[in-house]
Amino acid sequence: MRRLCLGIESTAHTFGAAIASDDGRIVSDVRDIYVPEAGKGIHPTGAAQHHSSVADKVVIAAFKDAHVRPEKIDAVAFSCGPGLGPCLRVGATVARAISVYFQKPLVPVNHAIAHIEIASLTTGARDPLVVLVSGGHTAIATYAARRWRICGETEDITLGNLLDMFARATGLSTPGGPEVERMAENGREMLDLPYTVKGNDVAYSGLLTAALREHKKGTQMADLCFSLQEVAFSMLTEATERALAHTGKRELLLTGGVAANRRLQSMLESIAQEHEAEFRVVDRRFSGDSGAQIAWTGILAFKAGLTVSVEESHVRPRWRLDEVDVAWRR
């Protein structure tokens, strides 16, 4: 009998619910995304209110699309962290209620690990060096001795933040990443912007400040977006290449919302080729936050026996990727 898991995502802007089966199928995947007021970032309580107001319709749609009744699922997984506290609590509350009412085990899932597992599922990657780039993460990681080990990360803001904050301050629409990518296509001139790699870590806040200064001077947006992408992505590519050389991994896996960016993909693909590693990118449908990533990781964790009681199912807003014991991976 195939096992089914409901997954609930609510770390930041997205409230999502999905059902995954243990044969690796995403049977349904429904989302509703909070859009901040024009010119503003995610307001945690505003996003949480959004999630509360759409939760019932999203969860019901996930069951309907899957043609599955709640009684038929085997587990309920939820994004336990990291993320915005008020947002995480909405998803956890919904998951607890379903778990108690239908008497189904509750499975806490780390959101970052879920970005990696959904990418592994959709690409077939087995033992990759991972580049995780999203609103909440910029990390290069590799798996060893039951944990994901960080080979490099951002020292300040994430790559997603950089693009979103730049877009917001310059009047582009949100989310910023796709807009910056579109504008960059017509850029030609490479501007002089700060490139900051420290050890194997990157730092983006100086780059953001300098890019905004250029904008104030009246620099053309196409050139500015082009240069911003080139510098930001080159920094990450340099750190990734070093990690690839040190670990000798044969696969390079790109995941998270920013993984949808074609220029970033092509830079990482070229270093993968140089190191004779296969380059893989998460299926575009699952690059951004989704219930699917939680439902699938929920299946893996549930089968490894990683359930939690309702009493102990508190959310963990600062739960780092490298703190999770990954019982299901060899």
Footprint on this chain of ligand AMP (rule: CB under 6 A): 134-136, 160, 163-164, 175-178, 181, 256-258, 260-261, 288-289
Instruction: Provide, rounded to whole angstroms, the least separation between the CB of residue 164 and ligand AMP.
Output: 5
> Which parts of 125-184 interact with Mg ion (CB under 5 A)?
134
CB of 47 closer than 8 Å to CB of 87: yes
Instruction: Provide, rounded to whole angstroms, the least separation between the CB of residue 116 and ligand AMP.
Output: 12
Query: What is the edge-to-edge ordering of all strands in the sheet holding 138-144?
Result: 147-153, 138-144, 129-133, 251-255, 278-281
Beta bridge partners of 20: 5, 26
Residues contacting Mg ion: total by CB under 5 A: 2
Using CB distances below 5 to 8 A depending on partner kind, what does residue 164 bind out of ligand AMP, Mg ion, none? ligand AMP
Using CB distances below 5 to 8 A depending on partner kind, what does residue 181 bind out of Mg ion, ligand AMP, none? ligand AMP
Q: In the bound complex, which residue of the shown chain has the CB atom lying closest to Mg ion?
A: 134
Nearer to ligand AMP (CB atom), residue 74 or residue 289? 289
Beta bridge partners of 131: 140, 254
Nearer to ligand AMP (CB atom), residue 11 or residue 247? 11
- Angstrom CA distances, 262 to 230, 271, 293, stand at 12, 15, 22
Integer Cα distance of 313 and 86 in angstroms: 15
Where helices occur in the chain by DSSP H, the ranges are 44-66, 85-102, 111-123, 159-169, 176-184, 205-216, 221-247, 262-274, 291-303
> Which parts of 270-289 interact with Mg ion (CB under 5 A)?
289
Instruction: Provide, rounded to whole angstroms, the least separation between the CB of residue 250 and ligand AMP.
Output: 25
Integer Cα distance of 22 and 3 in angstroms: 5
Instruction: Provide, rounded to whole angstroms, the least separation between the CB of residue 206 and ligand AMP.
Output: 19
The single residue listed with the structure tokens 């108690």 is 100
Nearer to Mg ion (CB atom), residue 84 or residue 207? 84
Instruction: Provide, rounded to whole angstroms, the least separation between the CB of residue 126 and ligand AMP.
Output: 23
List interacting residues with Mg ion (CB under 5 A). Answer: 134, 289
